[in-house]
Structure 1
């Protein structure tokens, strides 16, 4: 199907013609950050799903910031110019005024609102990102990619009359709001599904208390081991490097796990083997575990902790079930402060208590749990497919708005 001609009054301009002012951010190393009394400096992780995520804010010393220069007005666009290939080019729109600076990996774009409305401009950037423009045209280095503001300004943008832009924005916002409501329903379903398996494990390990021997993990496992500190690479320069982010929904897609440079002496120290159990020791998934089965040639990264069982009377599958149970999480939460999950460390892990039972009973629990888990997994997979479909809707909506017209690569 051919592209439609532009309606009367519509035009195609270089993005630079829409920009009234732009400003690059500045660098500040981690060791110069301050905990309080500083000036907030946004980082790329604060740009999430087209919005500003202010859950985690870094502060830089006041004396390195020109407060008359570094701030955000309502409608300012933040463009992430340097990141991993799949994330470079993401953007967010400021929904109010903020006294915030931003790192050198971010550009602030202030628009000429007589030409383009900020919400429309941001929707177009989101369309470019979803279509893979930035990933395709960015400059790639080892571990990161860049897309300059100059390159962005040279790209064409579709510009309808202001009243038509507003109509498009209103339509998009209504559809996005409907999608967000569906996402909330899916999240509620996910919580209910998770409660099925959690409830089962809770009853299993609660019933074991009367005829089990409680042992600390350090009594039947080798000393917990922190992972290997090394940059990840998409190039096949060595073994694969398993990271926290590679473990999703109790699964690892080894095809997408990056590689790393790992000398032979380090490889023998950090090689992942069958029945290893790894734990996230920091971040949003702190304390979550994963049982390694049939791993590829790989090592584990520094934000993971590895556990190896040394007692043949403890089955790894049984121990892994315990690490999914409320009995395990209740011990972890005792170390939390004000509801905040602590950093998970080797000492804490080694001192956790596990109910140890006869190995024949461990086998029975594992076999029965597998049946319950299959039911749980079927429900979870259905919910996951619904979530994937819903998450693709914003891209479909943007595609419907912007892809029907012929837009040249250059103007």
Structure 2
């Protein structure tokens, strides 16, 4: 059989079930990120969420109005066994039963920069550069047979399962680290950390570093999410190697966002962040960061935050924190486990990136096989 050219609209069924829950919280709502995955958005949900939409397992959610803004088609497939909830801005759909297109194959088809550029090129040119639903369902795609589609979906799923097994091992390592600190809390006295911290406020200056970073909700330094003029960094604060920076606000971030500079280069952060060093004769900064990065400390920071408009956990709040200060040898032993966790976490990120890069290769392979089938 030859490759079959179809229009998406022939096989798509729109779905619009409202959740009818007026007061959803952030952790109950999903957004779609640039990697085409559901995630928990950091921005606030609407005051009335009853019109938010349900995305059942096996369904897609797509926000066509953001194609031009992000030069990415924000679409995700619900691989899970539970419903997702998204804002009314999303279109929710599935593919008809027993049609010529497998949902997972379509998801693979979309995971490439080339496809994103195609959808971006077909935006309507409005202020928000959105793509209309009619344009979306009129997209032509070529398909191999169902059997070939399934073959390449199975290859992808096998890679994903291997990556997830690796990720579950990461969770076990993190559990070991957290459990160790929890045990220390019950076995040795906790001390106020203020005497072992030094507040730093070194400004970048006119000809300083261009290595500007933000502090993410994943408690790491990351590229800034907003545009930063790298020619105007003089007032930014310097985070030297082995120093820690944290974000004082906790409401939108839903926790204590901090990051440890474990590189050999200076990092510059916004002047509203706090920066400090640690007396390493008493406390290893890695050990302190491990304490900060537990869910229990996020709850502590939220509870001790103040302010109505923006809840903040300040320097004065931080220096009052009590932690179990074990001997340097004990600290180092648990830090060694934590370093293994961080290294493997980095490998896991690379695995995810490699799998994404393989998706276009799988699609090309399936189409080539479909054409060869015709020749035979």
TM over 0.5: yes
Quick check: 2:61–2:91 contact (8 Å CA) kept in 1?
Answer: yes
Q: Give the C-alpha shift of residue 186 in structure 1.
A: 0.6
Quick check: 2:216–2:257 contact (8 Å CA) kept in 1?
Answer: no
Counterparts of 2:271 and 2:72, CA distance in 1 = 21
Runs of 5+ unmatched residues, structure 1: 1-6, 27-32, 225-237, 407-411
1:278 is aligned, of 245, 259, 270, to 245
Higher gyration radius (CA): 1
Q: Give the C-alpha shift of residue 133 in structure 1.
A: 1.7
Q: Which residue of 1 aligns with 2:31?
A: 44
Q: 1:147 to 1:315 in 2, by over 3 A?
A: farther
Quick check: 1:89–1:129 contact (8 Å CA) kept in 2?
Answer: no
Q: Give the C-alpha shift of residue 111 in structure 1.
A: 5.0
Query: What are the within-5 Å matches in structure 2 for residues 30-179 of structure 1?
Result: 34-35=22-23, 44-45=31-32, 58=45, 61=48, 65=51, 76-81=59-64, 82=66, 85=70, 87-92=72-77, 102-104=87-89, 106-109=90-93, 116-117=100-101, 120-121=102-103, 123-135=105-117, 137-138=119-120, 146-159=130-143, 164-165=145-146, 167-168=147-148, 170-171=150-151, 174-179=154-159
2:260 is aligned, of 281, 284, 290, to 290
Counterparts of 2:28 and 2:293, CA distance in 1 = 37
| SS class of match (2:141) | strand
Q: Which residue of 2 aligns with 1:320?
A: 285
1:13 maps to 2:6: yes
Q: Give the C-alpha shift of residue 394 in structure 1.
A: 5.3
Quick check: 2:7–2:139 contact (8 Å CA) kept in 1?
Answer: yes
Q: Give the C-alpha shift of residue 76 in structure 1.
A: 4.9
Q: Give the C-alpha shift of residue 198 in structure 1.
A: 7.0
Runs of 5+ unmatched residues, structure 2: 202-208, 304-310, 372-376
Q: 1:177 to 1:277 in 2, by over 3 A?
A: same
Quick check: 2:36–2:74 contact (8 Å CA) kept in 1?
Answer: no
Q: RMSD in angstroms over aligned alpha carbons?
A: 5.9
Query: What are the within-5 Å matches in structure 2 for residues 127-276 of structure 1?
Result: 127-135=109-117, 137-138=119-120, 146-159=130-143, 164-165=145-146, 167-168=147-148, 170-171=150-151, 174-191=154-171, 193-194=173-174, 214-217=191-194, 220-222=197-199, 242-245=213-216, 252=221, 259-261=227-229, 268=235, 270-274=236-240, 276=243
In the alignment of these two chains, the number of paired residues is 341
Counterparts of 2:244 and 2:152, CA distance in 1 = 45
Q: Give the C-alpha shift of residue 131 in structure 1.
A: 4.4
